[in-house]
Structure formats: C-alpha cells, structure tokens
Amino acid sequence: MTAWPNGLEDQAEVRRDDQLRELVRSSPPLMRALAVVRESGLADAWIGAGVLRDLVWGSRYGHGFDLRTVRDVDVAFFDPADLNRDNDQEATARLAVLETGLPWEAKNQAAVHTWYPQRFGGPPVPPFQSIAEAVATWPEYATAVAIQLGPDDHILVCAPHGLYDLLDGVWRRNPTRVSEHTSQQRLARHRPAQRWPGVRVISNPQRGGEQRLPSCSSPTAPVALPILVRVSRLALVVTVGRRRCHVAPWKRPSAASHRRQNGRAQQP
C-alpha cells in the first residue's frame, strides 16, 4: 500500500469531486433531502443515480434542476440484517414522513440479490458486500454515483467508475450487470439527447480503450490490482486499480499514529 503525501494527490479527481459538491450545494432542496436521509436512521444511506444525473445535466445542458420534478429520489441503504422486501417500503415511508412531497424510493442494496433475477432475468447474482459494490453496477457510468451528507456536513462521494461521464455529459451503458436490451429500453425512456442537448450518447461501453475493471469490492477482483491511498486536504481517497471506491472525510493523524505509519511503510 502506498501513501501519497499531502499535495501530491490527483488534483484533477479532487477538482471533479468538488465540482459535484458545488452543484449539490447549489440546490437547497437536495441538501435538505441529504439531511433527511442522514436523520432517518437508515443504515449507510446514500442518495444517487438519476437524481444526480438530472442535477448535473439539468444545470449544464438543460433548463435547470427542480428536485420535486425528478422521477425518483433514489436512496440506497445497506442493511444485511433485514433482507425482507418490506424493508424497502418501510424505509421509503419513513423518508416520506420526514419530508413530504418528494418521490422517495429507498432500496436495501444488501437485498438486491434476492429479487434481481426475478425482475430482470438471468442467473442468480451474488449479494453485495457494500454500498460501493452496489453503486458500481448501476445502469450507466454517469448514474453509478452516490452522495451522503456526513455528520460534519461534508458531502461524501461514492463513484466507483469516477465522475467523468457524469460531469462531461456522457450517456454510456455500464456493462457490469445491465444488459444491452435493458440499456436500450432505458435510453428510449429517458431520451437524454433530447432532454439535455449537448449530452453525448455512446453505444460502446468501453471508455477510450480503457480496460473495464471489476467492482471495487468484488470477490473476483484481481488481487494484483494496485491499491493507492492518497490524502488530500479534505478527503481520504481509496483507489483500487484505476477506480476510486470511496471518498471519506480525513482527519490529520496524531504524531504517534504518523510514526507508526512511517514504520509500517518502511517494511518490505
């Protein structure tokens, strides 16, 4: 494991995270929704998928963004202790009580494997082990993003495939789990090029010839993938291969902790 000293982090990626945070903070209703999700008590709950696409593309390529007109406010939470489908309905109802008037839709990502084959066809799928692993399978690279409001009001960003397609206005299928047929149905339903002039629709899921890596926490991920931990002013960014699995607030370690870390880094 390699620790990059402060100041040597990938500034481009940090700037992209900050661009998304700036757009999120420009929408008081979305900030309120994030606070509601935090206050709801749902386990490891995040807002993501289409609502973030609508925010970014509406702001950059459309006529603005109104949270109350989105199709769904998707809330992904992770509760492996309760895989009952009623858990989703109860979570959605809890959010609706806390904040009325929003099209909440909460889904326990720990339970997706119990219903996914029946709904979308195909063989059984393994259970997710984390929110990051679930987000990595969402239908497009641009929608495979989630955010969470931390206890200090810092916005956490979970973007296993990065933020390039979302911020650059690219609709591209994420082939990790979604079939071409399902992707074409979504394309016809959402009509991204018509809704957001300037958004590019790319049928080839590969990005510039880059090898598509498995989900960050997938048990099939090659163990040889380089793991980098880089520390910036505001966040700890964990990267597996070329993917950022999680971004979390970072606190400066104590002097004793720093000495211990240096000692470990010098070991072969």
Output the six-digit token pair for 30. Answer: 């979305």
Query: Domain ranges in the chain?
Result: 2-265
pLDDT tens-digit readout, 35-90: 999 999 999 999 999 999 999 999 999 999 999 999 999 999 999 999 999 999 99
The residue among 56, 122, 42 whose CA lies nearest residue 89 is: 42
In tens, the pLDDT along 147-200 reads 999 999 999 999 999 999 999 999 999 998 888 888 999 999 999 999 999 999
Residue 215 confidence (pLDDT): 32
Write the CA distances from 136 to 53, 154, 195, 221, integer angstroms: 15, 22, 25, 13
> 2-265: CATH homologous superfamily?
Beta Polymerase, domain 2 (3.30.460.10)
Taking residue 37's Cβ as centre, other Cβ atoms within 10 Å add up to: 26
Using a pLDDT cut of 90, give the percent of the chain over it.
62
* 142, two tokens: 């641009």
| CA–CA dist 95, 116 (Å, integer) | 23
In whole numbers, what is the pLDDT of the chain averaged over residues?
A: 79
Nearest Cα residue to 147 out of 247, 256, 40: 247
Are 23 and 62 a contacting pair, CB within 8 Å?
Answer: no
230 band by pLDDT with thresholds 50, 70 and 90: very low
- Which is nearest to 163 in space by CA: 1, 2, 20? 20
Angle between helices 11-25 and 28-39 (to 10 degrees): 100
Task: Give me 245's structure tokens.
Answer: 């699995």
Residue closest to 170 by CA, chosen among 200, 140, 190: 200
User: pTM of the full predicted structure?
Assistant: 0.74
CA distances 114 to 47, 174, 183, Å, are: 22, 21, 22
Residue in this structure with the two tokens 């696409």, named with its chain if needed = 53
| Residue 266 CB contacts under 8 Å (≥ 6 apart), including other chains | none
pLDDT of residue 263 exceeding 50, the answer is: no
